[in-house]
Amino acid sequence: MTDVTEETIALEQTEQSVQPSTRPQFGNRFLAAGDDVFQHNAWDNVEWDEVQEHAALEGVKKNSSVKMPEEEVARLEAEADQNWNRFYGIHQNRFFKDRHWLFTEFPELAPLKRAANVPERVLPDGETVKSMAEESASQVGSQRRTIFEIGCGVGNTVFPILKYSDEENLMVYASDFSRQAIDIMCESPEYDTKRCQAFVLDATADRWDVPFEENSIDIVVLIFVLSAIDPERMQHVLNQVARYLKPGGMVMLRDYGRYDLAQLRFKPGKCVKENFYVRGDGTLVYFFTQEDLRRLFTNAGLVEEQNIVDRRLQVNRGKLIKMYRVWVQVKFRKPID
């Protein structure tokens, strides 16, 4: 699966919640001995045995044995913006799906809602007071909440937040490396200029030109974005993220895990550097371990709150094919001094 189009389609069609207790569709689909693996399209938290782990390791060794020539790597870096613009120019927003699963994975992104029909509580002296729920709900309109997504694409994370939120003071900032993606997003009827501001940003740049101050963002979102950045520039990106987060703010990431199906399908000669590959359309992808992310985020001065691996077994019941997906998901918070 070296083409980003096929990979993204497969990903968006199967992404659901990691948490078994909160996942409505896949929460009870755990593969046990004697189960028919082709009974469902996907199974949750599938454990790998030593044989499978060894096979994955050998597969990566094989497809990493031949590195891409340096001059070819330099050409890809120079053409990175063209490749992403071409990708969005070809596909527009035809196959992208809104990531409603994000509200389950990251409840911090879920819209703040006003409570309806909350009765008043009457005290013994006859005075009426609001219930705690109503009192909290009355503050929704006055709260200022800022969300910043890096690598927003055509708005598949942003639009569900805007659609379901009635927060008057919500502001969602959205950036992408591709001018084409930002143009498509801004032309959507769902794009609300009162609550959203989208702009082009190269997150690897030494200095960021952004429409907000340092220490001002409540939540930063990175969804399958850090993996597209050269590993040598990842630390700089996260240092910048930490700079713009407000104390107590959180950064959330979901991305490709080591030995994911997409990594194992690469052919020799497509490896740029260790665990970093080029797809057929010229875009790049890295495959993380939990320790990779722990090191990057903690070096940026952030504190770990979640760091998990989601192993999913997907099956094609028609062709009797088994496909193992591996994703990583983390949450890190900026300390309050």
Residue among 158, 161, 165, 162 at smallest CA distance from 181: 158
**What is the residue range of 185's domain?**
42-113+143-334
Residue 119 lies in a domain: no
Beta strands in the chain (DSSP E): 42-43, 121-122, 128-129, 145-150, 170-176, 196-200, 217-223, 245-256, 271-273, 276-278, 284-286, 303-316, 321-333
Please list, in sequence order, all residues whose beta carbon lies within 8 angstroms of the beta carbon of residue 15, skipping any fewer than 6 positions away: 99, 101
Q: The CATH number of the domain where 211 resides is what?
A: 3.40.50.150
Identify whether 86 is part of a domain: yes
Provide the domain count of the chain.
Answer: 1
For 77, phi and psi rounded to 5 degrees? -65, -40
Residue 178 resides in a domain: yes
Instruction: Determine the pLDDT at residue 22.
Output: 42
Q: Looking at the domain assignment, is residue 23 inside a domain?
A: no
Planar angle of CA 158, 161, 162, nearest 5 degrees: 85
Reading the block at residue 257, the tokens are 């895990």
> What pairing do the DSSP bridges indicate for beta strands 128-129 and 276-278?
unpaired
DSSP tag of 211? S
Q: 35 lies in a domain?
A: no
In a domain, residue 129? The reply is no
Q: How far lies 288's CA from each of 59, 73, 104, 206, 329, in Å?
A: 16, 20, 22, 24, 10
Query: Residue 312: phi, psi to the nearest 5?
Result: -125, 135
pTM given for the model: 0.78
Residue 319 falls within a domain, yes or no?
Answer: yes
In tens digits, the chain (337 residues) has pLDDT values of 333 444 444 444 444 433 333 443 434 565 555 555 555 556 566 676 788 788 888 889 898 888 877 777 777 776 666 655 655 555 555 544 556 678 888 989 887 764 443 344 333 344 443 433 333 444 444 578 999 999 998 888 999 899 888 888 899 999 998 898 899 999 999 999 999 999 999 999 999 999 999 999 999 999 999 999 999 999 999 999 999 999 999 999 999 999 999 999 999 999 999 999 998 878 889 999 999 999 999 999 999 999 999 887 766 666 556 677 899 999 999 999 8
Give me 129's structure tokens.
């007071």
- For residue 31, is it within any domain? no
Q: Which residue matches tokens 């708005």?
A: 155
Give the sign of the dihedral formed by CA 187, CA 191, CA 197, CA 201: negative
Q: Which of 35, 53, 56 is nearest to 44 (CA)?
A: 35
**Within 13 A of 40's CA, how many CA atoms are on the CB side?**
16
**Residues 78, 82, 85, 86: is their CA dihedral positive or negative?**
negative
Tell me the C-alpha distance between 148 and 130, whole Å: 33
Distance CA 51, CA 87 (A): 37
